A and B are shown apart, each in its own frame.
Chain A
Amino acid sequence: MSVYTQTSRGTTYRFDGLVELMAKATPARSGDELAGCAAGSDAERVAAQLALADVPLSQFLEEPLVPYETDEVTRLILDTHDAVAFEPVRSLTVGAFRDWLLELAPRPEAGSVMGALAPGLTPEMVAAVSKLMRNQDLIAVAKATRVTTAFRSTVGLPGRLATRLQPNHPTDDLRGIAAATLDGLLLGCGDAVIGVNPAGDSPQTCADLLHLLDGIRSEYEIPTQTCVLTHVTTTIGLIEAGVPVDLVFQSVAGTQAANEGFGVSLSMLKEGYEAGLSLGRGTVGKNVMYMETGQGSALSADAHRGVGDRPVDQQTLEARAYAVCREYKPLLVNTVVGFIGPEYLYDGKQIIRAGLEDHFCGKLLGLPMGVDVCYTNHAEADQDDMDTLLTLLGVAGCSFVIAVPGADDVMLGYQSTSFHDALYTRQALGMRPAPEFEAWLRKMQMMDDDGRVLPVEASSSALRALTGVSR
């Protein structure tokens, strides 16, 4: 294993391998402290960043953090690495790569250059450069990327902010879910997806929910897609049973062992992807996967170890999850940034930092990144922190955010962003919904010429009948 040393103000720090160097260079967070891989002091953290800045990007192709032999995610990353695409940055160090990105970002060709570069980057390279970046760097570079995907709506266009309408219900009550869906549509949300986390994943319950959502979508000709966020094997079964599935969902993580904790493998994801693709239900695009990730998922499954059985930092593992996602050309990738709890991201500061890192890393790897700007009641965070992160992500060109009634998810028991929050962000930053959805809002007389979502009385809206489900 390679050894990295850094002498700073008379103290010499030693880091055994990239795995330790990357962990200790990571901005402070509780999850790395829990895993026992965080820097022991602020000075050691900066020393690690200084050493990391001098590491050649090509070193990440030579020195895997998680063993190639035992981890299919590492094999995916290295076996699909595109050496030609990598060529423009092949000779750079991590520190020089940061400068290169910041030089490129303001230029008109930035989006196409970064799009062409993406297959040449590994998650570890992207995670490494993010560790050297300030929040403004993460925003500036992410904003310059161009990642668009499509199914019935187009996600990720410049000046657009899409939303997942998330009408969850603690007992999957169809009327309650329809009521929350109506509320969200009236407030201009749902252009990324109307997606329910079921309280359980009985195939019949998922089928009932899909029939409900697909019925609403087709009745009102809403240019969006629907999804029930159940295990990929359940969705494959539903597709075989002829249930109307738009998007195939799965939570994924950055190690093979963590994915096993979710009960998935790459071959299973491929099967789900192909099953979704076979339906041909997209009208403006063929991206059929909806994938979710979040820092700390590998650690929470005790599946976070790399070479020499040493802990890998959670942000690097999160970036590795994006390598899993990109193999299946997803419509949406959502990092559920504050959901997992204070043992991974302790407070508002750590959640904000992680949200910007995840968005940056995903975008640089070519993914349609959305962020669930969220926190739980046992974290040291509140709505003010969420306002800050949401605004920053809007500036950074985030593809989509989550929208739940009143920011309160009564099924999952956490706080996300609200329909109102989406309106605020679009208004404050001059952003619009996905173009197909915007046209629909105009057609339904729910949006004016300036892009403002009108305060429509529910009782007089043509959509009101959608709550009249029979069960």
Chain B
Amino acid sequence: MTDFWDELRATTQARIGLGRAGDGMPTSRVLEFRLAHAVARDAVHDPLDVDALVGELVRSGVCAGIEDDAGTGAVRAPVIEGEPGRARLGAPVVVTSRAANRAEYLRRPDRGRLPRDLAGLPATGADVGFVLADGLSARALQTHGPALLKALVEALPATFTLAPPVIATQARVGLGDHIGAALGVKTVLVLIGERPGLSVADSLGVYLTHHPEPGRPDSDRNCVSNIHSPGGLPYEAAARVIGGLIAGARQLGRSGVALKDTSREAAIAASTPDVALP
């Protein structure tokens, strides 16, 4: 019996074949679950290490380094065209929402959707902008954000202009509408930590909004979720689907329910968000 389920466990992280103690679960399974829940709860409350994330983005070669603008701390980065040998993206800019801390973020999602101050963002008019948001799992962004961003940049046509990435803390998906509008981008991608589950506490989702502007309903977005490794959607596969969705949105002139993923990437797909976004 153990062998039978072991083979199937290679196909899913779901808790299958747990055995029984009467109608309940065996003690070991109950305690495993309790531990996983404790770890996930801790993940919700871990803050994003912004300096470490910036360092990783620069080290990976996807972003230019941050330059201090005349010692004011404000950061300006030009739109950088794709050129061999250069970082494809400008230096990251850091913003935060109006949620002052984690406790407020959890109970007031409305404040997580509003920016505190976007004065540091350049108006780029670029084709695509990227928001790196902590969402409900900063660990997800910390772990998978740089590699996914790199894969996304590589999956987009070299002719596209790309805005510098914006790191957003205490951020909800809707904050991307404000950031996208301030950057003046045609399409904004919000890479955001998803709500931690028991098996996976570091899963990233990407929300695509064409012509971002404050007030966009969620039905105007498309999302690709469960991006993590191992066991989730790989970075390159996610990037290909998103690349296809961007092309579709540009052709259609909009994103959301009307835009379907027809890229047929194995069993991978995009969806319109359902009840709750991070």
Stretch at the interface among B56-64, B75-83, B197-205: B197-205
CB of B218 within 8 A of chain A?
A: yes
Docked Cα-Cα span, A341 to B232, in Å, equals: 23
> Which residue of A is nearest B232, CB measured?
A170
Docked Cα-Cα span, A420 to B30, in Å, equals: 11
Contact between A408 and B217, CB atoms less than 8 A apart: no
Contact between B4 and A251, CB atoms less than 8 A apart: no
Contact between B275 and A294, CB atoms less than 8 A apart: yes
Contact between B4 and A458, CB atoms less than 8 A apart: yes
CB of A148 within 8 A of chain B?
A: no
CB of B86 within 8 A of chain A?
A: no
CB of B156 within 8 A of chain A?
A: no
Docked Cα-Cα span, A408 to B110, in Å, equals: 28
- On chain A, the residues within 8 Å of B1 by CB distance are 457-459
**A279: min CB distance to chain B, Å:** 22
Contact between B226 and A171, CB atoms less than 8 A apart: yes
Docked Cα-Cα span, A427 to B23, in Å, equals: 8
- On chain B, the residues within 8 Å of A455 by CB distance are 20
- On chain A, the residues within 8 Å of B218 by CB distance are 261, 301
Contact between A406 and B107, CB atoms less than 8 A apart: no
Contact between A300 and B276, CB atoms less than 8 A apart: yes
Given A170-B13, A420-B25; A204-B268 close (CB under 8 Å)? no
CB of B257 within 8 A of chain A?
A: yes
Contact between A201 and B44, CB atoms less than 8 A apart: no
**B98: min CB distance to chain A, Å:** 14
Contact between A378 and B136, CB atoms less than 8 A apart: yes
Contact between B37 and A342, CB atoms less than 8 A apart: no
Contact between B270 and A201, CB atoms less than 8 A apart: yes
CB of B160 within 8 A of chain A?
A: no
> Which residue of A is nearest B215, CB measured?
A302
Contact between B107 and A342, CB atoms less than 8 A apart: yes
Stretch at the interface among A98-106, A121-129, A138-146, A174-182: A174-182
- On chain B, the residues within 8 Å of A297 by CB distance are 275-276
Contact between B268 and A171, CB atoms less than 8 A apart: yes
CB of A260 within 8 A of chain B?
A: yes
**B5, B14, B34, B261 — most chain A CB neighbours (10 Å):** B14
Contact between A201 and B272, CB atoms less than 8 A apart: yes
- On chain B, the residues within 8 Å of A170 by CB distance are 13, 200, 203, 225-226, 231-233
Among A195-216, those with CB < 8 Å from B are 197-205, 208
**B1, B25, B198, B274 — most chain A CB neighbours (10 Å):** B274
> Which residue of B is nearest A375, CB measured?
B37
Contact between B195 and A377, CB atoms less than 8 A apart: yes
Given A201-B260, A410-B199, A413-B197; A171-B17 close (CB under 8 Å)? no
CB of A376 within 8 A of chain B?
A: yes
CB of B267 within 8 A of chain A?
A: yes
Contact between A408 and B219, CB atoms less than 8 A apart: no
Docked Cα-Cα span, A342 to B8, in Å, equals: 34
Per-residue 0/1 for A373-400: is the Cβ within 8 Å of any B Cβ (1 yes, 0 no)? Answer: 0001110001100000000000000000
Q: Number of B residues whose C-beta is below 8 Å from A? A: 69
CB of A346 within 8 A of chain B?
A: yes
- On chain A, the residues within 8 Å of B195 by CB distance are 341, 376-378, 413-414
- On chain A, the residues within 8 Å of B226 by CB distance are 170-171, 199, 411
CB of A25 within 8 A of chain B?
A: no
Given A262-B219, A408-B14, A410-B200; A34-B110 close (CB under 8 Å)? yes
**B97: min CB distance to chain A, Å:** 14
Q: Which of A234, A300, A410 contacts B275 (CB 8 A)?
A: A300
Contact between B16 and A180, CB atoms less than 8 A apart: yes
CB of A21 within 8 A of chain B?
A: no
- On chain A, the residues within 8 Å of B263 by CB distance are 202
CB of B194 within 8 A of chain A?
A: yes
Docked Cα-Cα span, A418 to B25, in Å, equals: 10
Contact between B16 and A202, CB atoms less than 8 A apart: no
CB of A405 within 8 A of chain B?
A: yes
Contact between B257 and A408, CB atoms less than 8 A apart: no
Contact between B25 and A198, CB atoms less than 8 A apart: no
Q: Which of A175, A342, A408 contacts B36 (CB 8 A)?
A: A408
**A174, A233, A343 — most chain B CB neighbours (10 Å):** A343
Contact between B5 and A171, CB atoms less than 8 A apart: no
Contact between B107 and A202, CB atoms less than 8 A apart: no
Contact between A173 and B196, CB atoms less than 8 A apart: no
Q: Which of B109, B197, B201, B277 contacts A408 (CB 8 A)?
A: B197
CB of A404 within 8 A of chain B?
A: yes
> Which residue of B is nearest A167, CB measured?
B14
Among B115-157, those with CB < 8 Å from A are 136
Chain B interface residues toward A at CB < 8 A: 1, 3-5, 8-9, 11-18, 20, 23-25, 29, 33-34, 36-37, 40-41, 43-44, 106-110, 136, 194-201, 203, 217-219, 224-226, 231-233, 241, 256-257, 260-264, 267-272, 274-277
9 contacts between A and B (CB under 8 A): A30-B107, A177-B12, A180-B16, A199-B226, A261-B218, A340-B275, A341-B109, A408-B33, A408-B198
Chain A interface residues toward B at CB < 8 A: 30, 33-34, 167-177, 179-180, 182-183, 197-205, 208, 230-231, 233-234, 251, 260-263, 292, 294, 296-297, 300-301, 336, 339-343, 346, 376-378, 382-383, 404-415, 418, 420, 423-424, 427, 453, 455, 457-459, 464, 467
